[in-house]
Amino acid sequence: MVKYVQRGRPIDEHKQSQQKQKLLDAAQILLAKKSFGSLTIRELADTAKVNSAMISYYFNNKEGLFIALIDEMSNKLFDNLQLVSRAENPIHSFITMMIKMLSSNKSFARLIQDEVLSNESDFKTIFIERFPKKMAKLLPQLIINNTNITETKKAQYAAFSLMMMIITPFTHEAVRQDAWGISDQEIKSPLWINHLYGLFINGCNDSINNANPLPSETS
């Protein structure tokens, strides 16, 4: 099907979708190597093998392209999270899913490192809305459903701790490699996944066995 814009230029919808996806793929590839701020429209267009004018045509500007990329990554992650909730061992499956995603998608870790941990930018707000805030709503419930933790606040603490255990080795790559000698291969291995799972489950058991209740927010 062919449609026409006001200037009379025909647009093949399939070709339009292909060009948009090429730009999203290029943004993801380049973001794994460089920070958002250092990337240029020319680099993005050359990597996607499209005219640089297509960035403004499809996404308005470079920022719009990366917002679309964040949305695409967020949708994929949370679609997979729904599948994880139905797995035989949802917590182990969740850790495996996150490790696989971070290992194969270095742009995700770079976004966290450059735009969330060390930057005050519009992308910090956008990223937090698309990922951490959504995870903060879903992961505690997954923990309540699949561990002995029943208190909402303890589930929130457990969820936050689990996310930090998973993400930190990817966002602090130099320290992990240079100080601890732990390679990229190691942190995506079954041994590492089982290590994180064991730490988390033991931590949950310790939390359950702790007889002291959590202090109330009003105390």
pLDDT the model gives residue 210? 61
| 2-209, CATH topology level | Tetracycline Repressor; domain 2 (1.10.357)
For the chain (length 219 residues), average pLDDT per consecutive 10?
Answer: 39 83 92 84 93 92 90 89 91 96 84 73 82 94 94 95 95 94 96 96 76 50
- Distance (Å) of CA 138 to CA 89, 153, 170: 16, 13, 22
Residue 5 has what pLDDT? Answer: 40
Q: Enumerate the domain spans of the chain.
A: 2-209
Buried b (16+ CB within 10 A) or exposed e, 196-205: bbeebeebbe
- Cα-based angle 41, 55, 25 (whole degrees, multiple of 5): 80
SS3 (DSSP) at 18: helix
pLDDT (0 to 100) of residue 1: 44
CA distances from 159 to 19, 78, 156 (A): 38, 15, 5
Please compute Rg for the chain using Cα positions.
Answer: 21
What pLDDT is recorded for position 9?
38
